[in-house]
Amino acid sequence: MSAYDEVEIEDMEWNAELRAYTYPCPCGDLFQITLADLRLGEDIARCPSCSLFLTVVYNAEDFADAKEPQKPSPRPVAVA
């Protein structure tokens, strides 16, 4: 079976609620791969709603000791 697509990790988005990197699936759900999977060298992001999966392109060394990405702090907005 072949992957639906190949996606760079930089093109995926961290989803703090799912605790996974995600990418839109054509079915309307999201392909998902967890930080734990990446640390183990896994490169397949699966969609929980259909049979499609992606190959995730990343440097495994970058995730060996990686921590969960943090949400950016909200910036104050100046009002006039």
pLDDT of residue 63: 77
CA–CA distances in Å: residue 37 to residues 26, 28, 57, 74, 76? 23, 23, 13, 29, 35
* Domains of the chain, earliest start first: 5-61 (3.10.660.10)
Reported as a single tens digit per residue, the pLDDT across 16-67 is: 998 999 999 999 999 999 999 999 999 999 999 999 999 999 998 887 776 6
- Where does the pLDDT of residue 1 fall: very low under 50, low under 70, confident under 90, or very high at 90 and above? confident
pLDDT of residue 67: 66
